[in-house]
Amino acid sequence: MKRTEPRLHGLYAITDARQSEPQTVIRTAQQALRGGARLLQYRDKSDDPGRRRQTAQALRKATRTYGALLIVNDDLALAEACDADGVHLGRDDGDVSAARARLGPRAIIGASCYDRLELAHTAIAAGADYVAFGRFFPSRTKPEAVPADLELLHRAKRELDAPVVAIGGIHAGNAAPLVAAGADMLAVVDGLFAQPDVEAAARRLSALYAGQDD
């Protein structure tokens, strides 16, 4: 039986790491938050720590304004520096239990599990608060990512005691089956930040969770 975590539910916006201008990242993130994003992940693989910290602090302020959560991708030190709500870790980004020990019991820790349910079981046992599967559709952000399918979501919903995120090529036109299959959150990059109206795209995706208990 999946445990209830009201905060980990709905649209999960992930900033576009290809956007190099901080003001663009901040502005479009605010638009996604206005459209109903419940979580915002700051993902920036650049080698400019000052810019990354400044941007993260601005995003922290924005998420507080809109009552959302800020998750930092892969960087425990940055998460601490900007007082983020937590971190998201990929396969090569560090150990979940080490992140829990460093960030404490209140931090939200997410883990990428690709198409492998056994990785999710391991991550949850180590202290992960949510697990992410995908890609579910062709993805411009991570075109080489291994595909996942709806049956994986059905199994995750039955077997895992944690919220489940679907990621990879998701947009308003293809997301409904993922929600129906049990995705507690939809993690979206291009389906938000490559759209001409980010706020409207966020509203369409958020509407897929309308009426669900959260």
Residues belonging to the active site: 43, 112, 142
191 secondary structure, DSSP code: H
Structure tokens at 6: 């009201």
Burial of 5 (0-12, 13-18, 19+ CB in 10 A): middle
Q: Around 207, how many Cα atoms within 13 Å sit in the side-chain half-sphere?
A: 9
**One-letter amino acid for residue 122 of the chain:** T
H or E stretch covering 84: none
Instruction: Name the strand (E) or helix (H) holding 114.
Output: strand 108-114
Q: What span, in angstroms and rounded, lies between the C-alpha atoms of 7 and 58? A: 21
